[in-house]
Amino acid sequence: MREISYSEAIREALCEEMRLNPHAYLMGEDVAVFGGVWGVSEGMLAEFGPDRVRDTPISEAAIIGAGLGSAMVGMRPIVEIMFGDFLMCAGDQLVNQVAKARFMSGGKARIPLTIRVTSGAPGSAAAQHSQSPEAWFMNVPGLKIATPSSPADAKGLLKTAIRGDDPVLFFEHKMLYGEKGPVPEDENYTLPFGKADIVRPGTDITVIGISIMVKKALEAAELLSAEGISVEVIDPRTLVPLDKETLIQSVAKTSRVVIAHEAHRRAGPGAEIAAMLAEEAIEYLDGPIIRVGAKNVPLPYGPDMEEFVLPGTKEIIEAIRSLV
Amino acid sequence: MKHDPITQYSRDLLAHLYRKMILVREFELRAIEERRRGLIPGFIHSCVGQEATAVGACAALSREDVITSTHRGHGHLLGKGGDPKYMMAELAGRSTGYCLGRGGSLHLANFDLGILGANGIVGGGFPMAVGAALAYQMRGDDQVALAFFGDGAINEGSFHESANLAGLWKLPVIFFCENNLYGEGTPQSQQAPIADLALRAEGYGFPGHIVDGNDVVAVYKATVKARVRALAGEGPTLIEAKTYRFRGHYEGDPQVYRLPGELAAWKKRDPIPAFRQQLILANIFDESQIVDMEVSVQAELDEAVNFATDSPFPAVEEALKGVYANTHEGLVF
């Protein structure tokens, strides 16, 4: 299979879906002429024109809210929020309007709105451009949350998001944009939400990795395999809905679990997953559930401090060793 | 504008305006009464006194046009064609309500009628209206979106972002401000440095007009003009309708903030008796025809209250439905 980057895979999904559906359009800050500050939408203006690939003012609430309004009357908007940190500028629209409109209307509103947003620390971007805010929104019923970790997953999950009739927060990790991998060319290739991926099978311990931490968990698994430790790496792919069954089955097999994410440790996605496993799989566990995440401080600017605060392969290995 | 003879408008339109205003007024009074009697469990933010804005503006729209409404939204919904039965049932939390009892007064919506939703958040509806207008512009549909809001909401950031975007892209949207002089319990004069909020439109590159919000025909006329402009591709209009609410921000509000004599002075400008008198003086309807309309409204509201009272509550498990369109069979969210 041909290999393309995470960024190219996302662009391919966008272009394919916009060719298939005339009501799909892309809107956001610098997405058209600039091609997106991450380069994801490069070339799309030329193909689709300024009506369907729209540069907006720096107005996150209007971007998300206008996406919502247009979705309610039959469009299929894909909006881009340049940094996940900026979602807070659109907090009301996202949490009180987008997430709740369908429920409040008695299940009658149809909101096929995909909100593409970047997450993660790209290196010395400091505290307001580096966050991984997925868990903030896990506590808001009405949103779906996807966290692709590979080019193929990015394409398949994004196409599902665009084709679905619900609002989706689609988190693209900034440090994954350049990652290459095999990606199906089939325009009908999609990946279901709520179906975890057993990225690397193993028998001694389960590492549940989210977004870029899947890559780091794989590195840890490879290093530890030399010592005879067999690590199973699982990527939930979507945090809402969450594939509990696959996670529980893995824990039933390995009896040990580490959950790794780049979000802060306190009340990050791992807190929910750990609580779920404690409630539903405690009888399989031979040790504590360990979470690996960023330290509970804002992300610092200086490279050494940043590396100290962020979780990495080393922290995953330490967590695994403490259990095996 | 005030001096235009109302005889230039069709009898049907004038009958519609009068009957709808009565319907809004009486719906509110019934809802307040039914809340007191226990039929309605939640908040009511009544629009008594503001009937002319809701009815006049909605009368200028087509069925396919959409509105976004506010916490004070019953008048907007009735104006846009909402059926008092399903509205009253929703206020009573019944399964026959517009939102199956999940929304209540603050979240009434009906997409078939172009009502994208009342809103519990002040300023929450602006971006939604702008988005609907964007869809119409992209598709070339002859439709507009009208965002109702109050003088309080114009100070929310969402207004700025939405008005800027709509002005920039010349979207077919009407920003309809019901300036009732109070944002919740604080006078408008203490919430903005200008009294005429229509002035703000200039900064977004579109016109702002002030209209007497207690004159239903003037409101209708201003909204027609804004709609024509929107459909011509010339962009948004801000209409500031000066009006006043006769009751509290919410039912139960002690209203300590009103100036002495203010309410009495505004009651002299009640939009309904004034219009009634105009209709009779201009020989458009006689007293008995007017009374027939008033009686029919009471009958419609009797039916609405009975319908709500007789409707079942939803089974509690219904609360677990309707969050997502695609529920991924077997998965628990």
pLDDT digits (tens, 9 = 90+) for B101-122: 999 999 999 999 999 999 999 9
pLDDT digits (tens, 9 = 90+) for B269-300: 999 999 999 999 999 999 999 999 999 999 99
- Chain A contacts of B123, Cβ < 8 Å? 92
Task: Nearest chain A residue to B99 by CA: give it.
Answer: A106
CA distance A244 to chain B (A): 8
In order of their start, the domains of chain B are 6-182+198-305 (3.40.50.970)
Residues B245-262: what's their mean pLDDT?
95
CATH 3.40.50.920 maps onto chain A at 197-323
- Cα of A11 vs its chain's centroid, Å: 16
Burial class (CB in 10 A: 0-12, 13-18, 19+), A1: exposed
pLDDT digits (tens, 9 = 90+) for A182-191: 999 999 999 9
Show the low-confidence residues of chain A (pLDDT under 70): none
Q: Using alpha carbons only, give the angle A269, A209, A228 rounded to the nearest 5 degrees.
A: 140
**Cα distance between residue A101 and residue A68, in whole Å:** 9
How much is the pLDDT for B5?
86
A286 touches chain B (CB under 8 A): no
How much is the pLDDT for B333?
57
Strands ordered across the beta sheet of B173-179:
B66-68, B145-150, B173-179, B237-242, B208-212
pLDDT digits (tens, 9 = 90+) for B24-59: 999 999 999 999 999 999 999 999 999 999 999 999
Q: Residue B3 pLDDT > 70, yes or no? A: no
- CB–CB contact A106 B138 (8 Å): no
Q: Which fold has domain A3-182?
A: Rossmann fold (3.40.50)
> Which residue has 């319990």 as its token pair?
B185
CATH 3.40.50.970 maps onto chain A at 3-182
Kindly state the percentage of chain B with pLDDT values over 70.
97
- CB–CB contact A65 B126 (8 Å): yes
Pick the residue of B139, B323, B327 with the most A CBs within 10 A to test the interface with A by mutation.
B323
Question: Looking at chain A from residue 176 to 215, which residues have their Cβ under 8 Å from any Cβ of chain B?
Answer: 192-194
pLDDT averaged over every residue in chain B: 96
At A90 the three-state DSSP class reads helix
Confirm whether A80 is a catalytic residue: no
How much is the pLDDT for B327?
79
pLDDT digits (tens, 9 = 90+) for B162-218: 999 999 999 999 999 999 999 999 999 999 999 999 999 999 999 999 999 999 999
- Chain A contacts of B97, Cβ < 8 Å? 106
CA distance A165 to chain B (A): 6
**Cα distance between residue A8 and residue B234, in whole Å:** 39
ipTM of model: 0.95
Structure tokens at B264: 């009495």
Cα atoms found within 13 Å of the Cα of residue B326, Cβ hemisphere only: 20
How much is the pLDDT for B1?
45
Element (H, E) at A144: strand A144-146
Question: Looking at chain A from residue 93 to 122, which residues have their Cβ under 8 Å from any Cβ of chain B?
Answer: 93, 96-97, 100-111
At A168 the three-state DSSP class reads strand
B158 touches chain A (CB under 8 A): yes
How much is the pLDDT for B127?
98
Task: Nearest chain B residue to A242 by CA: give it.
Answer: B333
Question: Looking at chain A from residue 18 to 57, which residues have their Cβ under 8 Å from any Cβ of chain B?
Answer: 25, 51-52, 56-57
Q: List CB contacts of B232: < 8 A, sequence separation 6 or more.
A: none
How much is the pLDDT for B237?
98
Global confidence as pTM: 0.96
CATH no., domain A197-323? 3.40.50.920
Q: Residue B330 pLDDT > 70, yes or no? A: no
Q: Using alpha carbons only, give the angle A167, A171, A173 rounded to the nearest 5 degrees.
A: 170
Contacts within 8 Å (CB) and 24+ apart, B192-201? B192/B151, B192/B154, B192/B155, B196/B240, B197/B151, B197/B154, B197/B238, B197/B240, B198/B238, B198/B239, B198/B240, B200/B154, B200/B163, B200/B238, B201/B163, B201/B175, B201/B236, B201/B237, B201/B238
Q: List CB contacts of A287: < 8 A, sequence separation 6 or more.
A: A255, A256, A323
Smallest Cα–Cα separation from B175: which of B142, B136, B133? B133
Instruction: Name the catalytic one among A8, A29, A129, A261.
Output: A129
CA distance A269 to chain B (A): 14
